[in-house]
Amino acid sequence: MTISNPYANRRFMRAFDKLWSRFEGFVNRFTKSDFNPFYHLGTLTVYFLIVLIVTGTYLTIFYRPGSDVAFATVEKISSNWLGSLMRGVHRYASDGMIVLIILHFFKMMFSDRYWGSRWLAWTSGWIMLAATWLTGTMGYWLIWDQRAQWMTEYMMNTVAGSEGLTYISPSLASNTFSNFVIILFLHVFLPLIGFLGIYIHVLRLSRARWWSPRWVSIQATIGLILLAVIKPVSSALPADLSTLVSSAPMDAFYLGFLPLIDQMGNWIFWGLAIFVGGGFFLLPWVASGRDLGPALVTDSKCTGCVLCFNECPYDAIRMVDRHDETKYHKLAIVNPAQCTGCGICVGACPTDAIDLKGGYNGNQTFSAVRGALKREKETGQPVTVLFASQRNEALDGLPKSLLAEKNHGPVSTSPWGESRVVTAVLPSESAVNIEWIKTLHHEGARDVVILSHPYDDSLYREDTHWITNRLRLRPALLTSDIHLLEVTPGDSTAVSTLLDDLNRPGFQANKKAPVLPETKDRSKKAPSFVSSLASVILLTLLFATALPLDIPAGMVEANESALRIAIDMKGKISTPRIPEGVVLPEGADAAKIFGGERFPVSVRVTADGKTIFEETYSPSGLSGEGRISNLEFLPVDTGTHQIEILLKDDDNDFRTVYSGQVEIAKAQVLLFTYDERSDTFSVR
């Protein structure tokens, strides 16, 4: 039998997977694997969503929308200790949520958990990341400080039109109130529908984990509170559209796009963003891997015992009624689109009715192990049988000497001191059939070692859970000769240490039956003081990445000054619209009665005799009879300038509608607004 390890074939991904596992192993030294917060990135993100909803509800109660009151109410909230704490926790939780999602993405990507049946979780996760970013950006806008001003400036310069004119009207507060209300509604509503996104995210899992363990939630909350107390959140200067933003603290997670666009330009930035983001979004199809699945059921052997159905982590197995010559009532059916080739169902099946299409057969593998055991027993040396997963092999979690004689198939033999070791590499540790252990003991194996992942870091979500659960249900097998070694993937030292111990006579004489970890209510275990302290420090440092990324930045144009040209006019009618069959009285003005298509409007701006801007605007509307609205932003040097604005709105030549000398200070913005009644531009 020949079988490859597809998990090891993707060497580029495995290189990052090794680095990630080493980092988690380093954390395990301080927190132990049961209490490693980096094993709960996904569920911790859900908890942060709840934290944001709770703190956001408090802030919303005291917040008042509107450009005239928003900044003042935010400052009032921050003026007392509870409001400051709530605002700080809200801000750091929003940044922390971005960090958690990104880390969760990379962990899933490095460990090949994004393609195949997992595509739905991967793509829905990216959509939720985009929604999280959009929601957080709206939150910064609601403060109405200089950060909100920069976002507004970007919107005005990009969208322009009538929407941009809203923010430069004399009655700014009343005209923008509806905008504040809409954005506040979206900022509150999007997180609420986030639970729908989470539901879709876990839709293909049999037993989705929604909630992080109690201890990690508490420790994360402590970390957020510590940050909010140590570094209270403060606003930038209040928004003032008559000046440019020279320097304001910009949260790189949410607002970093503004300085980048300022430097790179819209097309380059958004082109790169769409290219990179789209590449990650499409990764399940452009960089898919290979596994040993799907599982195949031999109908004649299936007894309908439902063990495979109960243990499948990905809801890939269904039990259907059967109407054939057998005496059994149910038959297992595998959905290939949802199978990940984990082999858990192979290990669960008591009748060897399930194999993996990619080449893994549990019965053949066990036959190879028994054959190797028989041959090694003939040497007269004690024999240990070691079962390991393909991930442990791929991440160098097995001593290299164990695999030195592995030429064909998943089974190899090698000497270890004064004993021999038979090593079987399976798709996952739960591919071990519990009946194998009993047979191996009867046929002379001195020890049987099952190498498993940390309970909360199983490659297939529930590998360790099910092998542990099977052992718990067969207490007669729990002799001193069986060893369940739960170790960080890639930690071959722990394997070497155990094998060395098994060769010591003193260790053999004092062996005890294994104490299996809990499989129920495991998340309710209480960590030690050292583990708790280590987790709080790690999580606080993780969330504190928001602090160095709160980088002061300013608009490039703030080094100079700018003119803002606002146009909102009906324009003159070029072709009156007279309905067919209608005859007007003599002297009647058809344009005033029926309207019609309007002339385009051309605007030319000169500074000190040099043309710095010229543009032609077409009327809005399908029939060309709507208003002409636009807003232009023109950078100019600081100092005194002779400004002329010329307008053309008919068949005649340009006419001067403004001429005057203006003095403009650094970072100042002068607003020129056209008045159609007086046919002039006013400046303020």
pLDDT digits (tens, 9 = 90+) for 219-237: 999 999 999 999 999 999 9
Residue 179 phi, psi (nearest 5): -65, -45
65 and 188 within one domain = yes
Residue 417, helix vs strand vs coil: coil
Asked whether residue 96 is assigned to any structural domain, the reply reads: yes
Helix (H) / strand (E) containing 664: strand 655-664
97 and 235 within one domain = yes
The overall average pLDDT reported for the chain is: 89
Residue 590: pLDDT band (50, 70, 90) is low
pLDDT digits (tens, 9 = 90+) for 531-559: 999 999 999 999 999 999 899 999 988 88
300 and 279 within one domain = no
516 and 409 within one domain = yes
Residue 480 has which token pair? 């001193």
Question: Domain boundary residue among 260, 284, 308?
Answer: 284
Residue 116 has which token pair? 């195949």
128 and 102 within one domain = yes
Q: How many whole angstroms separate alpha carbon 225 and alpha carbon 233?
A: 12
Give the count of beta carbons closer than 10 Å to the beta carbon of residue 281. Answer: 18
Looking at the whole model, is its pTM more than 0.85? yes
* Burial group, residue 279, by CB count within 10 angstroms (0-12, 13-18, 19+): exposed
Is the pLDDT confidence value at 62 over 70? Answer: yes
pLDDT digits (tens, 9 = 90+) for 608-660: 999 999 999 888 876 667 788 888 889 999 999 999 999 998 888 899 999 99
Q: Which residues contact 180 (CB under 8 A, 6 or more apart)?
A: 65, 66, 67, 70, 142
Closest of 39, 27, 10, 18 to residue 523, by C-alpha:
39
Give the Cα-Cα-Cα angle 513, 514, 516 (nearest 5 degrees): 140
CATH number at residue 663: 2.60.40
DSSP state of 39: G
Q: How many whole angstroms separate alpha carbon 90 and alpha carbon 61?
A: 14
276 and 299 within one domain = no
Helix (H) / strand (E) containing 484: strand 482-486
Asked whether residue 547 is assigned to any structural domain, the reply reads: no
Asked whether residue 584 is assigned to any structural domain, the reply reads: yes
674 and 639 within one domain = yes
Task: Calculate the alpha carbon distances from 156 to 152, 173, 631 in Å.
Answer: 6, 17, 7
Question: Beta strands of 383-473 (E only): which ranges?
Answer: 383-389, 411-416, 419-426, 447-452
Residue predicted with more confidence, 250 or 2:
250
HEC assignment per residue over 366-406: HHHHHHHHHHHHCCCCCEEEEEEEHHHHHCCCCCHHHHCCC
Residue 121 has which token pair? 């979780």
Helix orientation angle between 146-159 and 257-264, rounded to the nearest 10 degrees:
40
Q: Which residues contact 431 (CB under 8 A, 6 or more apart)?
A: 342, 343, 344, 346, 347, 360, 362, 389
Question: Domain residues for 269?
Answer: 35-240+247-284
Alpha helices by DSSP H, 557-616: 590-594
181 and 161 within one domain = yes
Question: Domain boundary residue among 284, 307, 341?
Answer: 284
Is the pLDDT confidence value at 1 over 50? Answer: no
CATH number at residue 426: 3.40.50
Asked whether residue 550 is assigned to any structural domain, the reply reads: no
278 and 316 within one domain = no
276 and 304 within one domain = no
Asked whether residue 471 is assigned to any structural domain, the reply reads: yes
226 and 146 within one domain = yes
Q: ω into residue 336 within 30 of 0, thus cis?
A: no
450 and 520 within one domain = yes
Res 479: pLDDT: 86
Question: Domain boundary residue among 524, 548, 576?
Answer: 524
Q: Which residues contact 475 (CB under 8 A, 6 or more apart)?
A: none
CATH number at residue 148: 1.20.810.10
Asked whether residue 532 is assigned to any structural domain, the reply reads: no
Helix (H) / strand (E) containing 95: helix 81-110
Query: Based on the structure, what is the number of domains in the chain?
Result: 4
Asked whether residue 389 is assigned to any structural domain, the reply reads: yes
pLDDT digits (tens, 9 = 90+) for 458-516: 999 999 999 999 998 888 888 888 999 999 999 999 999 999 999 998 888 888 887 77
What is the residue whose two structure tokens read 């004399």? 170
Asked whether residue 148 is assigned to any structural domain, the reply reads: yes
CATH number at residue 303: 3.30.70.20
Write the DSSP string, 268-329. Answer: HHHHHHHHHHHHHHTHHHHS----S--EEE-TTT-----HHHHH-TTS-EEEEE--SSSS-S
